[in-house]
Amino acid sequence: MPKPNLPNIAAIVFDKDGTLLDFHGTWVPRMQAALTQLCHADTGLMMRLAEAAGYDKQQQRVLSGSILAAGNNRDIAEVWAAPLGRSVEDLEAYLNQAFASDVGGASVAVADLTASLTSLHGMGYKLGVATMDSVAGIE
């Protein structure tokens, strides 16, 4: 497919979560897996921490604008550290590692992601990614 006649656009930057990756399909299982470990399967504590960071139990979704949706691992650690009896720094390091791994399963790409990015790259656009995630998480 030829590049559209948009002479002022040389590159496209995508937000990772919710644009390239299915946000809920990727992050809800990762949050649940991390909380299972952190809370030693105490489901009451797990739900209190999830809700404190922006998880809506009834909708089974992360609320827009919440720490889980718009924050970073440090922000989440600041909410969860005290109830877990951990330091913010220790918990942030744990979350960086856990969320960058396949804990809770692999990332879920949006439909036709590879074909779309391949097409845009083939048109000559430079492609980039923006995220609040850690460096390890983006890699």
pLDDT in tens, 88-128: 999 999 999 998 888 788 888 888 889 999 999 998 899 99
- Is residue 137 scored above 70 in pLDDT? yes
pLDDT tens per residue, range 27-62: 899 999 999 999 998 999 999 999 999 999 999 899
Residues 99, 139, 88, 56, CA torsion sign: negative
Q: Residue 83 pLDDT more than 70? A: yes
Pairing between strand 61-62 and 55-56? Answer: antiparallel
CA distance 95 to 134: 9
Rounded to two decimals, what is the model's pTM?
A: 0.78
| Sequence letter at residue 52 | A
Grouping H, G, I as helix, E, B as strand and the rest as coil, residue 38 is: helix
Q: What is the pLDDT of residue 134?
A: 74
